[in-house]
């Protein structure tokens, strides 16, 4: 189904597709053949949040798709906390206070 492929294309690491797609199908495909659009949108949001969290990780530390599909709810917007950028050093303002401390 097209929506399943669209979701998989969003994911940053192309490993664990078969098991991940099986979990995804159970989540978003309804018994009548329709798509649970709310669930599909939630998974896409979780993938976007996870991609932000992975920006500074080596590709080897990005979860396989199948693993992500077992914990995707951890990356929903209201619960998600981004990992601070380890390369961003605090700036000191003219008053001596740190400006961009995370």
Q: What single string gives the DSSP state of each residue in the chain?
A: -HHHHHHHHHSS----HHHHHHHHHHHHB-TTS-B-HHHHHHHHHHHHHHHHHTTTS-GGGSPPHHHHTTTGGGG-TTT--PPP-TT-PPPB-TTS-BSS--
Residue 59 belongs to a domain: yes
Residue 36 has pLDDT above 60, yes or no: yes
Count structural domains, the chain: 1
Residue 41 belongs to a domain: yes
Encode pLDDT of 40-84 as tens digits. Answer: 999 999 999 999 888 877 767 899 999 999 999 999 966 556 655
The stretch 13-34 carries a mean pLDDT of: 95
Residue 94 belongs to a domain: no
Residue 12 belongs to a domain: yes
Residue 11 belongs to a domain: yes
The stretch 27-32 carries a mean pLDDT of: 94
- Percent of the chain exceeding pLDDT 90 equals 63
- Provide the pLDDT for residue 87: 56
Residue 35 belongs to a domain: yes
Task: Name the residue range of residue 47's domain.
Answer: 2-75
């Amino acid at each position: 189904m097209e929506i399943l492929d669209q979701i998989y294309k969003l994911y940053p690491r192309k490993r664990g597709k078969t098991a991940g797609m099986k979990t995804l199908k159970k989540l978003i495909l309804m018994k009548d053949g329709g798509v649970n659009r709310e669930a599909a949108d939630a998974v896409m949001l979780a993938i976007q949040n996870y991609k932000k969290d992975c920006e500074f990780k080596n590709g080897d530390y990005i979860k396989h798709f199948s693993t992500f599909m077992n914990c995707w709810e951890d990356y929903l917007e209201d619960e998600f906390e981004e990992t601070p950028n380890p390369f961003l050093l605090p700036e000191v303002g003219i008053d001596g206070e740190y400006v961009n401390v995370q």
